[in-house]
Amino acid sequence: MVIYGVALLAFCMLVGALAGDALGRLVGVEANVGGVGIAMLLLLWLSNLSRPRLQLALPSQSGIHFWNAMYIPIVVAMAASQNVRAALSSGWLAILAGTLAVMASFAMVPLLSRLGRRRNPHA
């Protein structure tokens, strides 16, 4: 049942938001600091912890796995759009640094792919 996945996701997001706000206040910033990351780690930990202990039915497990798989790409997309907006409003140096980081990451893909094939020749 997908509802268990939604409930777990909502719980993790609530705890992450509260923890991020508390961490922001502790650091002296009036913002949520790391709340989404905390929620993501909590979601991964609780979804893996629940498998052997709860003995959920297959539809319930698939609902939790669905939202577990959907959460990370959504958060990454949201963070990326915020970073792009911040870079565009910050000036050319931020845009140049972001562009160079993306180009370096793309350049590393073939290298890492070759290294992966050397370690695991059957893949």
Domain boundaries along the sequence of the chain: 2-75
Pair of tokens at residue 29: 């910033």
Q: What is the pLDDT of residue 65?
A: 75
Mean pLDDT calculated for residue range 112-117: 80
47-73 residue pLDDT tens: 777 666 666 677 777 777 777 777 777
74 vs 107 pLDDT, higher one: 107
Q: What is the pLDDT of residue 41?
A: 85
CA geometry: angle at 89 spanning 98 and 94, to 5°?
Answer: 25
Amino acid of residue 105: S
The whole-chain average pLDDT of the chain stands at 78
Q: Is the pLDDT of residue 87 over 90?
A: no
54: three-class secondary structure by DSSP:
helix
Model confidence at 22, pLDDT cuts 50, 70, 90, reads very high
Model confidence at 15, pLDDT cuts 50, 70, 90, reads very high
Task: Single out the residue of 81, 73, 74 nearest to residue 98, CA to CA.
Answer: 81
Q: What is the pLDDT of residue 123?
A: 56
Instruction: Quote the pTM value.
Output: 0.56
Q: What is the 3-state composition of the chain as percent helix, strand, coil, each rounded to the nearest 5?
A: 85, 0, 15
30-54 residue pLDDT tens: 877 888 888 888 887 887 776 666 6
Q: How far is CA 118 from CA 27, 44, 50, 114, in A?
A: 45, 30, 36, 6
Tokens 């992450």 map to which residue? 16
